[in-house]
Amino acid sequence: MLKKIALIVFILIAGKVAHAQTASEVYDKYADFNLALLQNEHDKALDLGEQILPDSAKLPQKARVSFYNGIAKLYEDDSQSIKAIAYYNRVVAAEPNYYVAHRALGYLYIKDISGKPADQVVVDAAYIIEIKKALPHLEKAQACDPSDDTLALIKLLYRNIKDERGLNTLPARLNELKKNCIDILSDQ
């Protein structure tokens, strides 16, 4: 009986190892993924991305970060906010000055707070937590790529959570955050 169990375990492990993609195969799929993105083939890109995810560690570091950004955008466009947030967070962890991912994170964090516009929300503890997650990302995006709409939203959010200190120190933070902005990820 023990020999049968050992044989089954060995077969399962051998099957898993045989199925694992090589680094070259993963990179080839990554190239196909990028081509599908370029050609606006959303479903194909998403399918390829999900095939790459289990073996994404085999991609070179910069390619991996670029891949995470691409898959996050696909998830965002597919209304899968939780997955998009997870991968955008990996992007900003690896490239903290890449403001495009920060902008996406800021807006995703506030997207589902309530069904009401930001100026008509009920301010409760859960709302404040999500706003405090969103604000640093929105501020980095605003510092690197100023937008009247984003600035107005940041100010509204500070007023909604009654954080006068945060609102008053905003210009100094934006000035500091505008240093070292990255607007394009390289996978090389």
140-163 residue pLDDT tens:
999 999 999 999 999 999 999 999
CATH class of 23-95: mainly alpha
Q: Where in the chain is the domain with CATH 1.25.40.10?
A: 23-95
Question: Is the confidence at residue 15, as pLDDT, over 70?
Answer: no
Question: Is the confidence at residue 44, as pLDDT, over 50?
Answer: yes
Mean pLDDT, residues 66-91: 97
Cα gap 38→159, rounded to integer Å: 40
Question: Is the confidence at residue 173, as pLDDT, over 70?
Answer: yes
Q: How many residues are recorded in the chain?
A: 188
Strand-pair partners of 145: none
- Res 109: pLDDT: 93
Q: In the chain, what percentage of residues exceed pLDDT 70?
A: 84
Whole-prediction pTM: 0.83
Neighbours of 126 (CB within 10 A): 11
